[in-house]
Structure 1
Amino acid sequence: MAKIICWCIIVLPFFIYLNDFTSFCGLSLDFYSSSCPNVELLIKDTVRSATAVDPTIPGKLLRLVFHDCIVEGCDGSVLVQGNDTERSDPANTSLGGFEVVENAKRWLEVLCPGIVSCADILVLAARDAVEIARGPSVAVPLGRLDGRTSSAANVRPNMVDTSFSIDEMTQLFSSKGLSLDDLVILSGAHTIGKAHCSAFSERFEEGPKGTLEPIDASLNKDYAMELIKQCPAGASGAVTVNNDPITASIFDIQYYKNLIAGKGLFSSDSVLMSDSRTRDRVESLSTNQDEFFKSWSESFLRMVSIGVKTGNNQGEIRTSCSSFNI
């Protein structure tokens, strides 16, 4: 099945990007203004209520939208349950936040049946998650359709691994129309959220006494020992740690400060500081939150434009986000 990918707008300046988005992708800032005028308010209230109960929700939603967009484009395909779907792949089994999207969808099906796509709900929920975590608010063009396919086989070839090198990440991002600067900016999402111990286990090895020892010289020694305390040898696969050990629930520039201090949780974080192509950008962002917020808004919009599907032949509006329409 053919899909529309908005490669041509990705290189445009931010202000042109927003103004011309509709002419390229069939999306618009007021897409639901007549058909479902309260959609953004309802989704934001849903995210806010969920976060009040579970403070980890913002990080989960941000990770969820990335895993959706990076594979088959921003089409809600990661939300579909079933054997051999994207959601079933081991790289996605630790994802969370699905219930937030489903709750918003149920309300919208009552108020505006058959109007709002799960793909748009997920993008808006992730946008709101950042704002609720004290990050920037981004005006997001809407009108995406939900994809009609979801295949586990598409996940691994398109997914960033936490042990990737700069070259591996750059190649993958470039294939999606994203730049090296987008890589640095979007990695800033790790300023919130949690990770399972297995996501950074390659940075440690089991010593002769059965305890873990750090083997990655880029890790701050004190931070490495703290991670070992939280994730000892033989720790349950359910154990998680904060991506950001300082301001875990706040969307800020602490992530970049952590990289400079040798406290990047993943190998893919630390290489941003050790590689000359990205080091200066990390250092610049670590001292200027306004710059980070502006850049985040631009890179987030580029990310949520990947693989956008519009037009009846491209997708559908699912009744339930977890299953295709019959």
Structure 2
Amino acid sequence: MFSRKTVCSISMFMIFMFLVSSISTISLDFYHDSCPHAETMVREIVRSASEKDSTVPGKLLRLLFHDCMVEGCDGSVLIKGNETERSDPANETLGGFEVVDSAKRMLEFVCPETVSCADIVVLAARDAVELTGGPSVTIPTGRRDGLRSTSNSVQPNLIDTTFSLTESLRIFSAKNLTTTDLVTLSGAHTIGSSHCTSIIDDRFQTDPDTGKISFLPSVDSSLNKSFADDLSHQCNSMKSDAVVKNDLKTGMVFDNVYFSNLLEGKGLFLTDTVLADDERTAELVNVYARDEKEFFDRWQESFLKLGSIDVKTGDQGEIRRICTEIND
């Protein structure tokens, strides 16, 4: 019999070999000759930015999701302009762009027209997880940047915070991601913050005269009362663009507390809460809440799959000189 560690290693190897065989130009040493210090340079940019602003890791991780789920991992979410992905309302609260841009400027100075913006987005998100205490993931590189970015492709490919589990699974299945991937990657909510406006309408009652929000079990009985009261206090006491940590306990640390929170009725979004309430996902939520190592092991597998959705390689796409615009 194999040990769990051996089985995990075999599983990771099989997933990686599948990705490499399916996308032959992606490899672990893609920049070995052309830009050997590329990954180190991205990591240091992410580290420096995170030390100055503790919200950066969560922003970079969210940026990856919004890039890869729409048109694949091709940096198309970075492009500025009317009717681009970045201009869509679903992406108006995205952050971390300046970190990617900073890394790109440095890489263009050292290795001109070599490292894609798409790879930078994946590497930065990987580093953001590790720098906040999460597992290190060895990822293949060699993605190329996409040549199109349209706002009308955004919302049909992203999970809305009000989605049922079935709706969320439909979105994931279209990207060849499984139910396990959905639960595992939802663990990204262990870091980062969300705007109060994204949870108020779904989970609270708003007084039309004062604008104050309050928790009523009749509006959302799934929320833990003390947690709901804490959320309403934070959102009422701050400006309209106020944010709250996705995990109020350890929101700056990548850990498994997010899953423990779900079991206590302390999920920020409806899409979080349903994971603990539906028999299709509840067992895995319990496993991750008990065993952080199991969550970390599965995270590595699911992150690899997320970062390899519909990548452009070979003669597809381009290597952008500036991440915010397609080359002339």
Fold-level similarity (TM above 0.5): yes
d(CA) in 2 for partners of 1:309 and 1:296?
23
Q: Is the 8 Å Cα contact of residues 57 and 125 (structure 2) preserved in structure 1?
A: yes
Stretches of 4+ aligned residues off by more than 3 angstroms: 207-211
* 2:50 aligned partner: 51
Identity percentage of aligned residues? 53
Q: Is the 8 Å Cα contact of residues 21 and 28 (structure 1) preserved in structure 2?
A: no
Q: Does 1:268 align with 2:271?
A: yes
Gaps of 5+ in 2: 1-9
d(CA) in 2 for partners of 1:17 and 1:130?
20
Question: What does the per-residue CA deviation read over 1:251-293, in whole Å, with 9 as the maximum and x for residues that have no partner?
Answer: 0000000000110000100000111111110001001111010
* 2:236 aligned partner: 232
Q: Is the 8 Å Cα contact of residues 74 and 146 (structure 2) preserved in structure 1?
A: yes
Candidates 218, 225, 244, aligned match of 2:222? 218
Q: Is the 8 Å Cα contact of residues 177 and 305 (structure 2) preserved in structure 1?
A: yes
- What is the total number of aligned residue pairs between the two structures? 313
Q: In the TM superposition, what is the alpha-carbon distance from 1:209 to its structure 2 partner?
A: 7.2
2:205 maps to amino acid: E
* 2:6 aligned partner: none
Question: TM-score, normalised on structure 1?
Answer: 0.94
Q: Does 1:16 align with 2:14?
A: yes
* 2:3 aligned partner: none
2:253 maps to amino acid: I
d(CA) in 2 for partners of 1:261 and 1:317?
46
Q: Is the 8 Å Cα contact of residues 39 and 123 (structure 2) preserved in structure 1?
A: yes
Candidates 315, 319, 328, aligned match of 1:317? 319
Q: Does 1:92 align with 2:95?
A: no
Q: Does 1:303 align with 2:306?
A: yes
1:190 maps to amino acid: H
Question: Which residues in structure 2 correspond to 1:140-159 (within 5 Å)?
Answer: 140-159=139-158
* 1:115 aligned partner: 114
Q: In the TM superposition, what is the alpha-carbon distance from 1:13 to its structure 2 partner?
A: 3.9
Q: Is the 8 Å Cα contact of residues 163 and 200 (structure 1) preserved in structure 2?
A: no
Q: Is the 8 Å Cα contact of residues 192 and 244 (structure 1) preserved in structure 2?
A: yes
* 1:204 aligned partner: 204
Choose 17-26 or 76-85, whichever is displaced more. 17-26
d(CA) in 2 for partners of 1:208 and 1:67?
33
* 1:9 aligned partner: none
d(CA) in 2 for partners of 1:81 and 1:67?
15
Gaps of 5+ in 1: 1-11
Q: In the TM superposition, what is the alpha-carbon distance from 1:205 to its structure 2 partner?
A: 1.1
d(CA) in 2 for partners of 1:207 and 1:272?
30
RMSD: 1.4
Q: Is the 8 Å Cα contact of residues 19 and 308 (structure 2) preserved in structure 1?
A: no
Q: Is the 8 Å Cα contact of residues 29 and 141 (structure 1) preserved in structure 2?
A: yes
